[in-house]
Structure 1
Amino acid sequence: MSRLPALIGYWDCDLRNVLANDAYVDYFGFTPQQARGRHMREVIGETVYALNLPYIQGALSGEEQLFERTLIDRHGVTRYTQASYLPDIVDGEVRGFYVQVTDVSARVEAERARDEAIRLFEISMANAPFGKVVMTTSARILQINPALCTMLGYDAKDLLGRDFRELIHPEDRPFADIDLRRLQDRSVQQVSSERRYLRCDGTTMWMQRNAVLVPGAYGGEDVVVAQFQDATARRHAEAELARLALTDPLTGLLNRHAFTEHVDQSRDAHPDAPAGVVFIDLDGFKCVNDTHGHAAGDMVLVHAANVLRTRVEGRHSAYRMGGDEFVVLCLDTSAEEVEALAEAIRYSLTGTYPIQAGRVVLSASVGWTRGATDDIDALLRTADADMYRQKPKLRRKGDRDAVAPPEDGPYRG
């Protein structure tokens, strides 16, 4: 009995010690011989005795007692113990009770560490400035923090238990499913992405997501812990910067860089498909700048761009190349359609332009060509040369009435 790590003893009805093992030395400083015959109060101390008295009385009344007690042993070490008082009943009479006290400090410390980890996790979830969610590997939401609820516009009670994939934009769900399968089969431990999500009001937002697999964390099952940061503002800013990089700031038309990019995209998608190019120049524009100032010239360019928008739609796109030069790119269009579009544009851009000082009358010189896109500079030069060949013809015709007007509305090819 003395070899047992637990404290073992027997106390009679007068609370005198009858039996004690060597563990009493470590706990209370009494050897078994010293403890024998002594009152329990003297052995375990007045404070512990007062705390244990209700359990002592319960044992003497014939009821088994089980409780936990914190003790400070003779070395000053705090021990967390579990005590058991077992009544000794003979012929229906309680003769005394057996005592067993087991040191459960390791278990208590582990439980406290666990509880502290849970508390810190809950604090982190509740106060994190970014969104956090814990879900099963089938995407069922187990926990979701206030920050993510705020971003998505939901109350937590409306999301708990739901499939998180329902919150992902439908076009992005297939990619999210791929990430989830990779976590499910443990081919990866962590995934990152930036995707669109649906708010409660139906609007779309962008979020940066990092997710990690935590094996066996939920009743032995794997869980996924993910954190989210709102990337909507940055995405919109990037989109605006990309738009500005391809847009002429004065007229709002696409610029020369956009023209080159779109030709390259068309050639990559359809290498053998020809493209039509319409080159436009405003005759007399320099005179407007010289006579009325650059502000008037800007008004003329903006008006010309607005006219082009009404004439160029569908498979075609308009660009300001610089100064008073504009280009229209025509895809999937015959030579006859390109020529008809060029004539419609010439007619639409020849006429009266409003400026601050009144109005000015300008004509448009328009040239066109159609050919392979492997040398777009050659196409531009050919269209430009054709435009200059049109200038003497237009001067001989004299005014816009020399050309029959096309039907109203945008030219769609």
Structure 2
Amino acid sequence: MRAAMRIVAYGTLFLVVTCCTIFWTRFTGGLAFVWLGTAIASALFLALPRAQHFRAAAFLTMMSTVATSLFGFGPVWAFPLALINVFEAWFIAWLLVRIRPERDYIESERGIVWLGLLAGVVGPFAAAIPGGLLVTQIVGGSAQFHTFSWLVGHGLGTLLVMPLALLLTSYREPLVMRVREVGKVFSFSAVVLLTLAISACALLQSTLPSLFLPIVPLVLASYHFGRFGASITVLIITAFSAVTLGLDVGVFAELHLELWQKVLFVQFYLSVLLLISFPMAVALKQRQRFMQELVNREAMQRLIADHSDDALLHLDESGTIRFASPASTRLSGHNAVEGRHLAAFFGTFDRKIVVDALALAARCPGQTEIIERSVERGGQTRWLEAKLRAIEPARKQAPTFVVTIRDVTERKLAEIQISREARTDVLTGLPNRRALLGVLEEQLEFADERPFGFALIDLDHFKAINDSHGHAVGDKVLQQVAGIMRDSASDDCFFARIGGEEFGLVAVGSAVDNMAIICERLRLAILRNVMTDNDGGHFNVTASIGIARISERCSSSMAMQAADGPLYSAKAAGRNCLRFAQHMGHFVPADTNDLPASPLRAIR
């Protein structure tokens, strides 16, 4: 129902405008030199869903046929001309939707350019050829002349009216509501009166060249009232131009041209004014929208910054803080951070890391760089995470930076705890096999430069302990042995539980040369430790140890095999003893009787 009412309304307006333009601007018995109906018909097609286009085309064809029959070439030629006129309007609408589906024909500069090209040139040209040939058959004359007249009259007329027609169809409320706000009624009235006065002075006199004067109220109207103001101002100028043409007075009367040529010139003049004002009005509207969005965004950012636990910063190109949110004071430890370098949030030795991160962000605008460092705050160690990004610079200006800094101590401690748990044996509390392999691989990377010692420690007859005393007692044995190893651990000695009753030792630095003594003390400490079973009985545990000196790069599995061989030798020799590898570098002799005299000499 709504679509039908719109078709009737626009079709009626199309009929009235078409009758007027044919009656008043058909000077030579040929085509009308002003044709505004295409703009109205195209706006109707753009406003309707595609399913309603046929109904609209049929009604418009009927209206065009009536107008041409009454004031044009008569009923014989009215229908074919109507078909061409309606096709032109539909084709323009189809092109606009096809090429600019955003439908921003009066909303953006690019949309206006496409509107001018398609509605003012391409669409009229497509209809001008068949229209010009048909008019040649009706009135004779040159087909080129009639084609050119169609192209110019329809193109300029469509350009002149199309923006206003689209403006009318795009608003859901009457346009007069745009100026009914408090204070705008008087300013709008003033602009209208100024336009009337300047148009009268510019167009009704012919002494001075003054066609540029109407641009002044046009600019004012565009600035204050946007596209609506520009359209109203152009309509007023159009009315004055029509009066001067009709009365043959004013500036257009002095043109040494035929009347139809004057009409085309006036259309061209008015179209230029409209093409000046509409892009300017659109640009101003976009600027106002942008500024409002900027104000809203800034207000939101201020609100977030004032109530956020994170520090929000804006830095200049050198990394100096120009804006800092309230949380910056707490996180930085300074009373004020504006004017300081970003490195003020971190330790003295972290400045180079911060500077390098800023340089990397400046080279890759839009990419986020992350700095995570520990700092001292109030005698406690805290972890800060900084995320920084360079803002895309305008032209050749240096980039600036936006930064967020937050306290991630809880998360970092949780990560450390998770990492520790992942590398810690649950039963004994010693580092696990994964941790041992990590240390082993680190040492193997530089083994040819810094040899190290590696030992495998295996508790003897542990299965018998589990079978005789139960797994609970076996677990206590492992825990007590792990305690002995923790007491023996140092910066140079790293102990770990590999699995089951097997343990590992990595010795570095000065401990490498004392590997035999360290392992013998460990063996004796395990032997002398008295274990208790569930019934209160006591027993002892012994350990066999295989030792290797690693002095060349190899895989961790080869290093394990280097110590595994002497471990089996210790087991074969009766257990509760040490054995040494004969390869992977020089250590002490495999025969423990060759050890220097000491309390550790008795091995069995």
Q: Whole-Å Cα distance in 2 between the matches of residues 343 and 298 of structure 1?
A: 23
Deviations 1:96-148 (A, max 9, x none): xxxxxxx9987798467436414412412432665421112222222223466
Shift, 1:245, TM fit: 2.9
In the alignment, structure 1 residue 180 sits paired with structure 2 residue 358: yes
Instruction: Verify the 8 A CA contact 1:179 1:191 in the aligned structure 2.
Output: no
Higher strand share: 1
Cα 1:224–1:30 shift into 2, 3 Å: closer
Instruction: Verify the 8 A CA contact 1:339 1:368 in the aligned structure 2.
Output: no
**Match for 1:291: what amino acid?**
S
Of 343, 361, 377, which residue of structure 1 is paired with 2:560? 377
Q: Which residue of 1 aligns with 2:294?
A: 117
Q: Which residue of 1 aligns with 2:196?
A: 31
Q: Whole-Å Cα distance in 1 between the matches of residues 198 and 433 of structure 2?
A: 103
Q: Whole-Å Cα distance in 2 between the matches of residues 269 and 125 of structure 1?
A: 54
Gaps of 5+ in 1: 1-22, 37-69, 80-102, 395-402, 407-413
Q: Whole-Å Cα distance in 2 between the matches of residues 237 and 254 of structure 1?
A: 18
In the alignment, structure 1 residue 162 sits paired with structure 2 residue 327: no
Q: Which residue of 2 aligns with 1:66?
A: none
Q: Which residue of 2 aligns with 1:268?
A: 445
Cα 1:236–1:321 shift into 2, 3 Å: same
**Match for 1:241: what amino acid?**
I
Alignment of 1:87-236 (within 5 A): 110=287, 113-114=290-291, 116-127=293-304, 131-146=311-326, 152=331, 158-182=336-360, 186-189=362-365, 190-196=367-373, 198=375, 200-201=377-378, 203-215=381-393, 222-228=399-405, 231-236=408-413
Instruction: Verify the 8 A CA contact 2:343 2:351 in the aligned structure 1.
Output: yes
Cα 1:405–1:28 shift into 2, 3 Å: farther
Q: Whole-Å Cα distance in 2 between the matches of residues 369 and 355 of structure 1?
A: 31
Shift, 1:313, TM fit: 1.6
Instruction: Verify the 8 A CA contact 1:24 1:32 in the aligned structure 2.
Output: no
Q: Whole-Å Cα distance in 2 between the matches of residues 171 and 362 of structure 1?
A: 53
Shift, 1:345, TM fit: 0.5
Shift, 1:318, TM fit: 0.8
Shift, 1:289, TM fit: 2.3
Shift, 1:365, TM fit: 2.4
**Match for 1:285: what amino acid?**
F
Of 451, 461, 469, which residue of structure 2 is paired with 1:292? 469
Instruction: Verify the 8 A CA contact 2:497 2:503 in the aligned structure 1.
Output: yes
Q: Whole-Å Cα distance in 1 between the matches of residues 192 and 537 of structure 2?
A: 107
Q: Whole-Å Cα distance in 2 between the matches of residues 176 and 212 of structure 1?
A: 13
Cα 1:301–1:121 shift into 2, 3 Å: same
Secondary structure of the equivalent of 1:137?
coil
Secondary structure of the equivalent of 2:363?
coil
Q: Whole-Å Cα distance in 1 between the matches of residues 374 and 507 of structure 2?
A: 36
What is the TM-score when the length of structure 1 is the normalising length? 0.62
Q: Which residue of 2 aligns with 1:246?
A: 423
Cα 1:27–1:285 shift into 2, 3 Å: same
Secondary structure of the equivalent of 1:160?
coil
Shift, 1:325, TM fit: 1.8
Shift, 1:266, TM fit: 0.8
Deviations 1:302-342 (A, max 9, x none): 11101111123231211212222222122245776221112
Instruction: Verify the 8 A CA contact 2:495 2:503 in the aligned structure 1.
Output: yes
Q: Whole-Å Cα distance in 2 between the matches of residues 321 and 289 of structure 1?
A: 18
Q: Whole-Å Cα distance in 1 between the matches of residues 344 and 224 of structure 2?
A: 54
Q: Whole-Å Cα distance in 2 between the matches of residues 335 and 159 of structure 1?
A: 51
Q: Whole-Å Cα distance in 2 between the matches of residues 228 and 380 of structure 1?
A: 49
Instruction: Verify the 8 A CA contact 2:498 2:504 in the aligned structure 1.
Output: yes
Q: Which residue of 1 aligns with 2:538?
A: 360
Instruction: Verify the 8 A CA contact 1:342 1:368 in the aligned structure 2.
Output: no
In the alignment, structure 1 residue 277 sits paired with structure 2 residue 442: no
Q: Whole-Å Cα distance in 2 between the matches of residues 121 and 256 of structure 1?
A: 54
Secondary structure of the equivalent of 2:574?
helix
Q: Whole-Å Cα distance in 1 between the matches of residues 388 and 472 of structure 2?
A: 51
Instruction: Verify the 8 A CA contact 1:182 1:188 in the aligned structure 2.
Output: yes
Secondary structure of the equivalent of 2:339?
coil
Secondary structure of the equivalent of 1:391?
coil
Shift, 1:253, TM fit: 1.1
Alignment of 1:397-412 (within 5 A): none
Q: Whole-Å Cα distance in 2 between the matches of residues 34 and 323 of structure 1?
A: 102
Q: Which has the larger radius of gyration?
A: 2
Instruction: Verify the 8 A CA contact 1:301 1:324 in the aligned structure 2.
Output: yes
Instruction: Verify the 8 A CA contact 1:126 1:146 in the aligned structure 2.
Output: no
Q: Whole-Å Cα distance in 2 between the matches of residues 381 and 333 of structure 1?
A: 23
What is the TM-score when the length of structure 2 is the normalising length? 0.44
Q: Whole-Å Cα distance in 2 between the matches of residues 254 and 282 of structure 1?
A: 17
Cα 1:214–1:199 shift into 2, 3 Å: farther
In the alignment, structure 1 residue 391 sits paired with structure 2 residue 574: yes
**Match for 2:566: what amino acid?**
A
Instruction: Verify the 8 A CA contact 2:456 2:504 in the aligned structure 1.
Output: yes
Deviations 1:236-260 (A, max 9, x none): 3333333233221111112222222
Instruction: Verify the 8 A CA contact 2:385 2:406 in the aligned structure 1.
Output: yes
Secondary structure of the equivalent of 2:542?
strand
Instruction: Verify the 8 A CA contact 2:372 2:386 in the aligned structure 1.
Output: yes
Q: Percent identity?
A: 21
Cα 1:115–1:161 shift into 2, 3 Å: farther
Gaps of 5+ in 2: 1-187, 202-222, 233-276, 578-596
Q: Which residue of 1 aligns with 2:115?
A: none
Count of aligned pairs: 314
